[in-house]
Amino acid sequence: MFRLQGSRVLAVDMTGDAVKAKNGSMVAYDGQMAFKRLTGGGEGLRGMVTRRLTGEQMTVMEVRGQGTCWFADRASEINLVELHGDKLFVESSNLLATDGGLRTGTSFTGLRGASQGNGLFTTIVEGRGQAAIMSDGPAVVLRVAPRYPLVVDPGAYIAHQGNVRQSFQSGVTFRTFLGEGGGEAFQIRFEGDGLVYVQPSERNTIAGDV
């Protein structure tokens, strides 16, 4: 269903099925399409309540029909992620679209979410199918292996999948080496076996100025 046209436009071919996408991200379609606005960061009441408690209002739409629909958002780079019954943890601002059969929900991130300025919850996508995530510049997919932990700046983090554990460590940010950091800050340490997606452009985060 999902295919890229260039690196910044997602084309979805549909035969009566549905996809969920970021509200307002449709740029064109052919055939017959129906659009339904959905509110909340996940399925059911829990997804809606957690977003409201943290001040986040993630609005998505369901697109169903016959034909092809094209999606894009602010010329962001788009990356396709295949899920085979596993989970994808992704920041809500970086999620563009998911297969209609994939389940979405929310997960408590605590200090990590607060340090990124994205709230205390992150979006979980799980099941079998495809998801499209966005990045500011071409994303880099980094491997985490049992003997090779990975440390990521919170502002560059997009998503991760696999059997991965997160923890925080304090220290200088990468921007400190350029003379732009504010001193001590948080970094995210990943251990286990999985993939971490990072972007080459950092968001402004609380951690960068702690």
Q: Show the tokens assigned to 174.
A: 């990468």
Give the per-residue pLDDT at 186.
74
Give the per-residue pLDDT at 20.
93
Give the per-residue pLDDT at 17.
92
Cα 50 from Cα 164, distance rounded (Å)? 23
Q: What is the mean pLDDT of each run of 10 residues along the chain (210 residues)?
A: 96 95 94 84 48 56 96 96 94 92 77 48 89 96 94 91 86 55 68 95 53
Give the per-residue pLDDT at 37.
85
DSSP string, 94-129: GEEEEETTSEEEEEE-THHHHHHTS-SEEEEEEEEE
Give the per-residue pLDDT at 208.
42
Q: Which residues, in sequence order, are CB contacts of 151 under 8 Å at separation 6+? A: 169, 187, 188, 189, 190
Q: Torsion angle, CA of 206/120/19/126, rounded to 10 degrees?
A: 120
Q: What pTM was computed for the model?
A: 0.80
Cα 141 from Cα 119, distance rounded (Å)? 24
